Amino acid sequence: MTEAPSTPPVAVITGGARGIGRGCAAQLAADGYAIVIADVRGEAAEQTANEFISQGYRASSAAADVTDAAACSAMIAKAVEAFGRIDVLVNSAGISRPEPSLDVTPENWRRMIDIQLNGTFFCSQAAGRQLVAQGWGGVIINISSINAEAAFPMRTAYSCAKAGVTMMTKTLAIEWAEHGIRVNAVGPCHTETEMTVENIKRGAVSVEVLQKRIPLGRLAKVEDVANAVSFLCSDKASFITGHALYVDGGYLAFGYW
Protein backbone atom coordinates (compact mmCIF):
# COMPACT_ATOMS: atom_id res chain seq x y z
CA MET A 1 0.00 0.00 0.00
CA THR A 2 1.00 3.59 -0.63
CA GLU A 3 1.95 5.72 2.37
CA ALA A 4 -0.55 8.51 3.06
CA PRO A 5 0.74 12.05 2.44
CA SER A 6 1.50 14.31 5.38
CA THR A 7 -1.39 16.69 4.66
CA PRO A 8 -4.34 16.61 7.10
CA PRO A 9 -6.82 13.78 6.52
CA VAL A 10 -10.15 14.61 4.91
CA ALA A 11 -13.64 13.46 5.90
CA VAL A 12 -16.76 13.73 3.75
CA ILE A 13 -20.04 13.71 5.68
CA THR A 14 -23.35 13.31 3.87
CA GLY A 15 -26.39 14.84 5.51
CA GLY A 16 -23.82 17.04 7.21
CA ALA A 17 -25.89 20.21 7.45
CA ARG A 18 -27.83 19.12 10.50
CA GLY A 19 -28.49 16.41 13.06
CA ILE A 20 -26.17 13.44 13.41
CA GLY A 21 -24.26 14.37 10.27
CA ARG A 22 -23.43 17.81 11.58
CA GLY A 23 -22.42 16.36 14.93
CA CYS A 24 -20.08 13.90 13.24
CA ALA A 25 -18.58 16.72 11.18
CA ALA A 26 -17.96 18.77 14.32
CA GLN A 27 -16.25 15.89 16.09
CA LEU A 28 -14.08 14.94 13.12
CA ALA A 29 -13.09 18.58 12.64
CA ALA A 30 -12.02 18.65 16.30
CA ASP A 31 -10.08 15.43 15.63
CA GLY A 32 -8.03 17.25 13.00
CA TYR A 33 -9.82 16.36 9.78
CA ALA A 34 -10.57 18.77 7.01
CA ILE A 35 -14.28 18.27 6.49
CA VAL A 36 -16.59 18.37 3.50
CA ILE A 37 -20.22 19.04 4.38
CA ALA A 38 -22.38 17.32 1.78
CA ASP A 39 -26.13 17.77 1.76
CA VAL A 40 -29.00 17.77 -0.70
CA ARG A 41 -29.64 21.32 0.51
CA GLY A 42 -26.65 23.03 -1.02
CA GLU A 43 -27.14 26.37 0.70
CA ALA A 44 -27.43 24.71 4.11
CA ALA A 45 -24.26 22.72 3.42
CA GLU A 46 -22.38 25.87 2.47
CA GLN A 47 -23.66 27.74 5.53
CA THR A 48 -22.61 24.91 7.84
CA ALA A 49 -19.17 24.71 6.24
CA ASN A 50 -18.73 28.47 6.66
CA GLU A 51 -19.62 28.17 10.35
CA PHE A 52 -16.86 25.60 10.79
CA ILE A 53 -14.42 27.81 8.88
CA SER A 54 -15.27 30.71 11.18
CA GLN A 55 -14.27 28.47 14.11
CA GLY A 56 -10.84 27.91 12.57
CA TYR A 57 -11.45 24.54 10.95
CA ARG A 58 -10.73 23.54 7.36
CA ALA A 59 -14.08 22.95 5.68
CA SER A 60 -15.80 22.90 2.33
CA SER A 61 -19.26 22.01 1.07
CA ALA A 62 -20.92 20.08 -1.71
CA ALA A 63 -24.53 19.88 -2.83
CA ALA A 64 -25.29 16.19 -3.31
CA ASP A 65 -28.44 14.15 -3.90
CA VAL A 66 -27.30 10.73 -2.67
CA THR A 67 -29.94 8.97 -4.78
CA ASP A 68 -28.02 10.07 -7.90
CA ALA A 69 -24.88 7.98 -8.44
CA ALA A 70 -23.34 10.64 -10.68
CA ALA A 71 -23.93 13.29 -8.01
CA CYS A 72 -22.18 11.08 -5.45
CA SER A 73 -19.16 10.76 -7.73
CA ALA A 74 -19.17 14.53 -8.24
CA MET A 75 -19.29 15.03 -4.46
CA ILE A 76 -16.15 12.94 -3.97
CA ALA A 77 -14.44 14.71 -6.89
CA LYS A 78 -15.25 18.08 -5.32
CA ALA A 79 -13.77 16.97 -2.00
CA VAL A 80 -10.57 15.89 -3.76
CA GLU A 81 -10.49 19.19 -5.65
CA ALA A 82 -10.84 21.11 -2.39
CA PHE A 83 -8.34 19.17 -0.27
CA GLY A 84 -6.42 16.85 -2.57
CA ARG A 85 -7.57 13.58 -0.97
CA ILE A 86 -10.25 11.81 1.04
CA ASP A 87 -9.75 9.48 3.97
CA VAL A 88 -13.16 9.08 5.57
CA LEU A 89 -16.75 8.95 4.35
CA VAL A 90 -19.62 9.14 6.83
CA ASN A 91 -22.94 8.17 5.25
CA SER A 92 -25.39 10.09 7.41
CA ALA A 93 -27.95 11.32 4.86
CA GLY A 94 -31.38 9.97 5.71
CA ILE A 95 -35.06 10.58 6.29
CA SER A 96 -37.66 9.29 8.72
CA ARG A 97 -41.32 8.84 7.79
CA PRO A 98 -43.23 6.60 10.19
CA GLU A 99 -46.55 5.51 8.67
CA PRO A 100 -48.82 2.45 8.74
CA SER A 101 -47.65 -0.19 6.29
CA LEU A 102 -51.13 -0.39 4.75
CA ASP A 103 -50.81 3.28 3.79
CA VAL A 104 -47.26 3.33 2.39
CA THR A 105 -47.37 4.44 -1.23
CA PRO A 106 -44.98 3.04 -3.83
CA GLU A 107 -43.46 6.52 -4.05
CA ASN A 108 -42.78 6.72 -0.31
CA TRP A 109 -41.37 3.18 -0.27
CA ARG A 110 -39.01 3.90 -3.15
CA ARG A 111 -37.92 7.22 -1.64
CA MET A 112 -36.99 5.61 1.68
CA ILE A 113 -35.03 2.80 0.02
CA ASP A 114 -33.48 5.22 -2.46
CA ILE A 115 -32.09 7.56 0.20
CA GLN A 116 -31.25 5.17 3.03
CA LEU A 117 -29.99 2.15 1.10
CA ASN A 118 -29.19 3.11 -2.49
CA GLY A 119 -27.69 6.43 -1.43
CA THR A 120 -25.41 4.73 1.07
CA PHE A 121 -24.18 2.37 -1.63
CA PHE A 122 -23.68 5.04 -4.31
CA CYS A 123 -21.67 7.23 -1.92
CA SER A 124 -19.65 4.27 -0.65
CA GLN A 125 -18.91 3.13 -4.19
CA ALA A 126 -17.74 6.60 -5.22
CA ALA A 127 -15.57 6.96 -2.11
CA GLY A 128 -14.29 3.40 -2.46
CA ARG A 129 -13.10 4.05 -6.00
CA GLN A 130 -11.22 7.14 -4.85
CA LEU A 131 -9.69 5.37 -1.85
CA VAL A 132 -8.52 2.46 -3.99
CA ALA A 133 -6.98 4.88 -6.49
CA GLN A 134 -5.15 6.75 -3.72
CA GLY A 135 -3.71 3.51 -2.43
CA TRP A 136 -3.38 4.11 1.31
CA GLY A 137 -6.75 2.88 2.55
CA GLY A 138 -9.44 4.73 4.43
CA VAL A 139 -12.61 4.43 6.46
CA ILE A 140 -16.30 4.35 5.59
CA ILE A 141 -18.87 4.71 8.36
CA ASN A 142 -22.53 4.03 7.63
CA ILE A 143 -25.10 5.48 9.99
CA SER A 144 -27.50 2.59 10.51
CA SER A 145 -30.09 2.22 13.27
CA ILE A 146 -31.32 -0.13 15.96
CA ASN A 147 -34.09 -0.77 13.42
CA ALA A 148 -31.60 -2.91 11.55
CA GLU A 149 -32.09 -5.37 14.41
CA ALA A 150 -35.37 -4.40 16.10
CA ALA A 151 -38.66 -4.01 14.23
CA PHE A 152 -40.88 -1.04 15.06
CA PRO A 153 -44.47 -0.59 13.91
CA MET A 154 -44.96 1.86 11.03
CA ARG A 155 -41.33 1.66 9.93
CA THR A 156 -41.29 -1.18 7.43
CA ALA A 157 -39.40 0.64 4.68
CA TYR A 158 -37.00 2.30 7.12
CA SER A 159 -36.22 -0.96 8.94
CA CYS A 160 -35.69 -2.88 5.71
CA ALA A 161 -33.38 -0.16 4.40
CA LYS A 162 -31.31 -0.03 7.59
CA ALA A 163 -31.03 -3.82 7.74
CA GLY A 164 -29.71 -3.61 4.19
CA VAL A 165 -27.18 -0.98 5.24
CA THR A 166 -25.83 -3.29 7.95
CA MET A 167 -25.40 -6.18 5.50
CA MET A 168 -23.87 -3.82 2.94
CA THR A 169 -21.39 -2.76 5.60
CA LYS A 170 -20.27 -6.35 6.14
CA THR A 171 -20.02 -7.10 2.42
CA LEU A 172 -18.01 -4.01 1.53
CA ALA A 173 -15.76 -4.58 4.54
CA ILE A 174 -14.67 -8.02 3.38
CA GLU A 175 -14.47 -7.01 -0.27
CA TRP A 176 -12.36 -3.88 0.27
CA ALA A 177 -10.18 -5.09 3.14
CA GLU A 178 -7.39 -5.91 0.69
CA HIS A 179 -7.22 -2.19 -0.13
CA GLY A 180 -6.91 -1.19 3.53
CA ILE A 181 -10.45 0.23 3.57
CA ARG A 182 -12.36 -0.40 6.78
CA VAL A 183 -16.15 -0.27 6.62
CA ASN A 184 -18.25 -0.13 9.78
CA ALA A 185 -21.71 1.00 10.85
CA VAL A 186 -22.95 2.97 13.81
CA GLY A 187 -26.55 2.28 14.80
CA PRO A 188 -28.15 4.80 17.12
CA CYS A 189 -31.40 4.47 18.98
CA HIS A 190 -33.70 7.51 19.01
CA THR A 191 -31.43 10.54 19.03
CA GLU A 192 -32.09 14.15 19.98
CA THR A 193 -32.13 15.63 16.48
CA GLU A 194 -34.42 17.91 14.48
CA MET A 195 -35.90 14.85 12.78
CA THR A 196 -36.78 13.22 16.10
CA VAL A 197 -38.37 16.44 17.32
CA GLU A 198 -40.52 16.50 14.18
CA ASN A 199 -41.65 12.93 14.81
CA ILE A 200 -42.46 13.77 18.42
CA LYS A 201 -44.61 16.70 17.26
CA ARG A 202 -46.40 14.38 14.81
CA GLY A 203 -47.14 11.94 17.62
CA ALA A 204 -45.06 9.19 16.02
CA VAL A 205 -42.61 9.10 18.93
CA SER A 206 -43.28 9.22 22.67
CA VAL A 207 -40.34 10.46 24.73
CA GLU A 208 -41.85 9.10 27.94
CA VAL A 209 -42.21 5.59 26.51
CA LEU A 210 -38.68 5.62 25.14
CA GLN A 211 -37.15 6.79 28.39
CA LYS A 212 -38.78 3.81 30.12
CA ARG A 213 -37.71 1.40 27.35
CA ILE A 214 -34.04 2.47 27.19
CA PRO A 215 -32.12 1.08 30.21
CA LEU A 216 -29.95 4.19 30.53
CA GLY A 217 -33.15 6.23 30.74
CA ARG A 218 -32.67 8.82 28.01
CA LEU A 219 -32.50 9.37 24.28
CA ALA A 220 -29.09 9.34 22.61
CA LYS A 221 -27.36 12.66 22.13
CA VAL A 222 -25.77 13.57 18.82
CA GLU A 223 -22.42 13.62 20.62
CA ASP A 224 -22.87 9.99 21.66
CA VAL A 225 -23.13 8.96 18.02
CA ALA A 226 -20.33 11.28 16.90
CA ASN A 227 -17.98 9.86 19.53
CA ALA A 228 -18.59 6.34 18.23
CA VAL A 229 -17.89 7.50 14.68
CA SER A 230 -14.71 9.24 15.86
CA PHE A 231 -13.49 6.04 17.53
CA LEU A 232 -14.15 3.88 14.48
CA CYS A 233 -12.27 6.37 12.29
CA SER A 234 -9.27 6.37 14.58
CA ASP A 235 -6.20 4.15 14.72
CA LYS A 236 -7.61 2.70 17.94
CA ALA A 237 -10.10 0.85 15.73
CA SER A 238 -7.54 -0.21 13.12
CA PHE A 239 -8.49 -3.90 13.41
CA ILE A 240 -12.25 -3.34 13.44
CA THR A 241 -14.14 -3.74 10.16
CA GLY A 242 -17.49 -5.18 9.11
CA HIS A 243 -18.90 -4.31 12.54
CA ALA A 244 -22.11 -2.57 13.58
CA LEU A 245 -21.71 -0.59 16.80
CA TYR A 246 -25.06 0.18 18.39
CA VAL A 247 -25.23 3.39 20.40
CA ASP A 248 -28.50 2.61 22.09
CA GLY A 249 -28.26 2.91 25.88
CA GLY A 250 -28.89 -0.84 26.17
CA TYR A 251 -32.06 -0.85 24.04
CA LEU A 252 -31.25 -3.96 22.01
CA ALA A 253 -29.97 -5.87 25.03
CA PHE A 254 -33.20 -5.23 26.96
CA GLY A 255 -35.52 -8.08 26.03
CA TYR A 256 -37.95 -7.71 28.94
CA TRP A 257 -41.01 -5.46 28.76
Calpha distance 85→36 (Å, rounded) = 11
Calpha distance 154→135 (Å, rounded) = 43
DSSP category for residue 100: -
DSSP category for residue 31: T
* Residue 148: strand, helix, or coil: helix
3-state SS, one letter per residue, for 174-211: HHHHHHCEEEEEEEECCECCHHHHHHHHCCCCCHHHHH
Active site residues: 158
Calpha distance 51→226 (Å, rounded) = 18
> Which regions of the chain does DSSP assign to beta strands (E)?
10-14, 34-39, 59-63, 88-91, 138-143, 181-188, 244-247
- Cβ-based neighbours of 109, under 8 Å, separated by 6 or more: 157
187 φ, ψ (degrees, to nearest 5):
-115, 100
Q: How many CB atoms lie within 10 A of CB 177?
A: 14
* Contact between 124 and 140 (Cβ < 8 Å): yes
